[in-house]
Amino acid sequence: MNMFKRSAQELKSIRCLAVTGVLSALYIVMNAYLVIPFADTQITFGYIALAIIAMLYGPVVSVFAAIPCDILAATLRPDVQMNLAWTPNRMLEALILGIFLYGYASRGTSGEPSPKKFRQAAWATWQVLRIAIARLLVMIICYTIVNSLLIYVIYNPPSAANTAFWTWMVARSGLKNVVQYPLDLGIMFAILPAVRMIYDKTNAQYGNREAKT
């Protein structure tokens, strides 16, 4: 629960609100216009911006940001009929990312490598695993199960006719997720540590200014 309390405290920061606003706009643009069709589904990249929000400011901020992100991104897409039934699923995605990524760092909690090689290796391994686990859970729970269930119930697509839900779900999302998961991990492994490093350096250099204003 301490994680959620710390994340809620982030909402008091002007920096948090400003950075979250910029990243939310990036999410909306990427999810609305950077879309790759794949069989009966599609690959989008807005998750990158949502993952950065979750990493920097935690689950409370990311869940709140997911609401306008989802609604506005869907509104801007001409090929999508905006439906609020998908918004809780986007909030669930943000929650999972926030729980696993909040406080992510490529080095120890003090910002310096651990003095013992074993502890340093264990820390680095956990940083990799938390990204991999977070993305895997999002793809299984949010993208594969919940998204497919919503489409199956609300739209009853022709491809699902006379087909059991679980069979249709695997056929719809299985190959797409196998292809997308390593691609997503490569992008996240490249971007998240770089953003974390830049943010921490900027925060260390200019962090005192916000407190004085």
CATH number at residue 208: 1.10.1760.20
The mean pLDDT value for 108-128 works out to 64
What's the domain range around 87? 2-212
Identify the pLDDT of residue 33.
82
Identify the pLDDT of residue 210.
52
**If pLDDT is split at 50, 70 and 90, which confidence band does 145 have?**
very high
Number of domains in the chain: 1
Identify the pLDDT of residue 114.
47
More confident residue, 96 or 212: 96
**If pLDDT is split at 50, 70 and 90, which confidence band does 109 have?**
very low
**If pLDDT is split at 50, 70 and 90, which confidence band does 207 have?**
low
Identify the pLDDT of residue 125.
84
Identify the pLDDT of residue 89.
95
pLDDT of residue 209 exceeding 90, the answer is: no
Q: Mind spelling out the 3-state secondary structure of the chain?
A: CHHHHHHHHHCCCHHHHHHHHHHHHHHHHHHHHCEEEECCEEEECCHHHHHHHHHHHHHHHHHHHHHHHHHHHHHHCCCCCCCHHHHHHHHHHHHHHHHHHCCCCCCCCCCCCCCCHHHHHHHHHHHHHHHHHHHHHHHHHHHHHHHHHHHHHHCCCHHHCCCCHHHHHHHHHHHHHHHHHHHHHHHHHHHHHHHHHHHHHHHHHHHHHHHHC
- pLDDT tens per residue, range 50-77: 999 999 999 999 999 999 999 998 888 7
Quote the pTM value.
0.84
